[in-house]
């Protein structure tokens, strides 16, 4: 019986292992990131809601970082409550990035989290200064 030799895997032209393909993509990315390229905002309403939610949460976290924790937690909680209301009115055609989760889950989770955070900001008594 003869011994068979297995050949080494070789990339084929125009396949995913083709180095020309990666260089072409890299060049396209570098050309697109120039000074003249504008930031593209999301096109769907659901994606814009998600982006606005992230911006407001970042503002709330910034407020928490500068020692206004009660206001920051209230802002984050209120943003979740508003986002839950907006999520309720977004049509299925405009879901965008929100399409990966169920609508009922999103609304329930954001309402629960928002109400809990706003309640926390209101209920925790002020601490005496050290």
Task: Give the CA count within 13 Å in the CB-facing half-sphere of 52.
Answer: 14
pLDDT tens, 10-27?
555 555 555 566 666 666
Which residues make Cβ contacts (< 8 Å) with residue 48, sequence separation at least 6? 41, 42, 96
| Rounded Cα gap, residues 19 and 26, in angstroms | 11
pLDDT tens, 93-109?
776 666 667 788 889 99
Which residues make Cβ contacts (< 8 Å) with residue 46, sequence separation at least 6? 87, 90, 94, 95, 96, 97, 98, 99
pLDDT of residue 79: 95
pLDDT band for 87, please (50, 70, 90 cuts).
confident
Question: Does this model's pTM top 0.75?
Answer: no
| Rounded Cα gap, residues 113 and 111, in angstroms | 5
pLDDT of residue 130: 74
Question: In whole numbers, what is the pLDDT of the chain averaged over residues?
Answer: 78
């Amino acid at each position: 019986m003869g011994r068979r030799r297995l050949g080494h895997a070789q990339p084929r032209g125009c396949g995913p292992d083709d180095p020309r393909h990666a260089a072409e993509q890299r060049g396209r990315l570098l050309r697109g990131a120039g000074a003249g390229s504008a930031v593209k905002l999301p096109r769907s309403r659901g994606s814009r809601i998600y982006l606005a939610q992230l911006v407001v949460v970042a503002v709330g976290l910034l407020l928490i970082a500068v020692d206004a924790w009660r206001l920051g937690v209230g802002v984050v909680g209120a943003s979740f409550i508003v986002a839950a209301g907006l999520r309720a009115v977004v049509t299925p055609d405009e879901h965008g990035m929100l399409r990966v989760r169920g609508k009922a889950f999103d609304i329930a989770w954001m309402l629960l989290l928002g109400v809990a955070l706003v309640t926390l900001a209101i209920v925790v008594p002020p601490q005496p200064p050290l």
